[in-house]
Amino acid sequence: MIKQYLLLTKPGIVFGNLISVAGGFFLASRGNIDLVLFLATALGVSLIIASGCVFNNYIDRDIDEKMERTRNRALVRGLVPPAHAILYACALGIAGVTLLHKTANPLATTLTLAGFVVYVGLYSLWLKRRSVYGTLVGSLSGAVPPVVGYCAVSNRFDMGAAILLLIFSLWQMPHSYAIAIFRFNDYLTANIPVLPVIRGISAAKRQIVLYIAAFLVATLMLSISGYAGYSYFVVAAVSGACWLWMGVSGYTAADDRVWAKKLFVCSIVTITALSVMMSVDFQAAQKMVLALVSQPCNRLPGNELTFCTPVSGI
């Protein structure tokens, strides 16, 4: 029974978001790590994400039974009473919000709650079943964890936080479309209006390439803006280019589902590599900024850097 309650929280999603939380947290820390704050932030965000996943399981239990991938979930099979799931989700969410409020800062707590509302309210309860734009709205909630990690340290939403939000939002789109392609029959059976089902796989392929290209540009902005170093820049460029190449290869793929699975795996590898690199490559950040400006930049509170007069032609 304990296993069923654990599975309701979708541990894979929680763990994946933990990696991105760490990336944002360590990026903002710049080597000056508050371990207690990190553990509290990671646990608090994990509890709230777990709460959202349990609510999502409760909301989707009618369509989950129609999909091969989800028909054996605990709520579908009646292994966990729906009322217990609601109480469980509420307890997880309250615990997470309380922990973040007491250990982090109001900004980090508010951002986490905003992501929760978008995921449970706008996405799960409304747009997922009604609009092809549900994926786009859902991508915003998926991009919140690294921003929360960043803001837990910086206590402000600055350009670094905005770039992180952009990177992870853009990443969510081709990642989600890849899932929708290789799970096409499931989404079709459950009547979920994802792009490949509504507008066709060819349209989804075009969107995938465009989003990956935009994602690649956004990832490089972390270094260009002085928040990450040269090593991160190289990894971002190479991994993004490989993902883009794989996206373009979809135009000539013999089997769309096989290609989509490979694209999905590549998306996981790419975002994990970026999260790790932004965590460790902070020492070269100042050098990157100095190479892009004509005079040294003043260091702002929180060890952030700001641009001075730009070099002519940049």
**What phi and psi values does residue 293 have, to the nearest 5 degrees?**
-125, 160
pLDDT reported for residue 143: 97
Domains of the chain: 2-305 (1.10.600)
* Rounded Cα distance, 14 and 72, in Å: 20
Q: How many CB atoms lie within 10 A of CB 234?
A: 13
Each residue's pLDDT tens digit, 188-230: 999 999 999 999 999 999 999 999 999 999 999 999 999 999 9
User: If we measure between CA atoms, which residue out of 171, 136, 174 comes closest to residue 274?
Assistant: 171
* Rounded Cα distance, 27 and 244, in Å: 25
Each residue's pLDDT tens digit, 61-95: 999 999 999 999 999 999 999 999 999 999 999 99
This prediction's pTM = 0.88
* Rounded Cα distance, 304 and 45, in Å: 24
β 299-300/304-305 pair status: antiparallel
- Give the 3-state DSSP-derived string for the chain, with helices as H, strands as E and coil as C: CHHHHHHHCCHHHHHHHHHHHHHHHHHHHCCCCCHHHHHHHHHHHHHHHHHHHHHHHHHCHHHHCCCCCCCCCHHHHCCCCHHHHHHHHHHHHHHHHHHHHHHCCHHHHHHHHHHHHHHHHHHHHHHHHCCCCHHHHHHHHHCHHHHHHHHHHHCCCCHHHHHHHHHHHHHHHHHHHHHHHHCHHHHHHCCCCCHHHHHCHHHHHHHHHHHHHHHHHHHHHHHHCCCCCHHHHHHHHHHHHHHHHHHHHHHHCCCHHHHHHHHHHHHHHHHHHHHHHHHHCCCCHHHHHHHHECCCCCEECCCEECCCCECCCC
Contact 63, 192 (CB under 8 A): yes
- The confidence band for 1, taking pLDDT boundaries of 50, 70 and 90, is confident
Q: Could you tell me which residues are beta bridge partners of residue 305?
A: 299
Contact 235, 273 (CB under 8 A): yes
pLDDT score of 293 more than 90: no
pLDDT reported for residue 7: 95
Q: Residues 6 or more apart from 184 whose CB is under 8 A from it?
A: 196, 197, 201, 257
pLDDT score of 310 more than 50: no
Write out the two tokens for 112. 């986490």
User: If we measure between CA atoms, which residue out of 193, 170, 171 comes closest to residue 180?
Assistant: 193
Residue recorded with tokens 């979930």: 73
Mean residue pLDDT of the chain comes to 90
Each residue's pLDDT tens digit, 116-170: 999 999 999 999 999 999 999 999 999 999 999 999 999 999 999 999 999 999 9
Contact 74, 129 (CB under 8 A): no
